[in-house]
Amino acid sequence: MADVLFYHLTRQPLEEVLPGLLETCLKRDWRVVVQAGSPERCQALDALLWTYRDDSFLPHGTSADGHEAAQPVFLTCGEDNPNGAQVRFLVDRAVPPDLSPYQRGVFLFDGGDPEAVMDARGQWKAAKAAGHAITYWQQGESGRWEKKA
């Protein structure tokens, strides 16, 4: 079973949070799949990861780039895992595949969007029923992550 983490975004948007979490995964030598809720969002994340910092970028790709198996971070809006990722991020209410093959499943959801919060609650229940180990993180006053459950 996977460790499934829920990140409740309350202080920063996804665009500010995701790159740092991906950097942490790459430092641990984990391959990652980021599953977005739509092709448009996948394209936006692709652009973001090239430009999110002036002095750096995150190595990544999409199916349009080819060489899927070689990508340390693969962006998709489907259930594919062509790079053999150990970690799967789900953003923008993406519907997850079976998370059992992964070490970690990570849901990032916007606390200002009531539908996203309700969807995350449903995913929490499904992950718990599937037997995954679940943790819930929320941004505190300082913007740091605080483990809430």
CA dihedral 74, 76, 82, 85 (to 10 degrees): 50
User: Are the beta carbons of 39 and 142 closer than 8 angstroms?
Assistant: no
With a cut of 50, list the residues of the chain below it in pLDDT. none
Render the burial of 62-101: b for 16+ CB within 10 Å, e for the rest. Answer: beeeeebeebbbbbbbeeebebebbbbbbbbbbebbebee
Query: Taking the model in full, what pTM does it have?
Result: 0.94
pLDDT at site 52: 86
pLDDT at position 108, please? 97
Beta strands in the chain (DSSP E): 3-9, 32-35, 73-76, 87-91, 104-110, 133-139, 145-147
pLDDT value for 144 = 86
Give the pLDDT score at 149.
81
- Residue 127, CA distances (Å) to 7, 59, 107 in order: 14, 29, 11
Give the single-character DSSP code of 53: B
Report the pLDDT value the prediction gives residue 129, as an integer from 0 to 100: 95
Given this model, what pLDDT does residue 121 score?
A: 96
Alpha-carbon distances, residue 81 vs 78, 118, 149 (angstroms): 9, 26, 29
pLDDT at 140 (0 to 100): 85
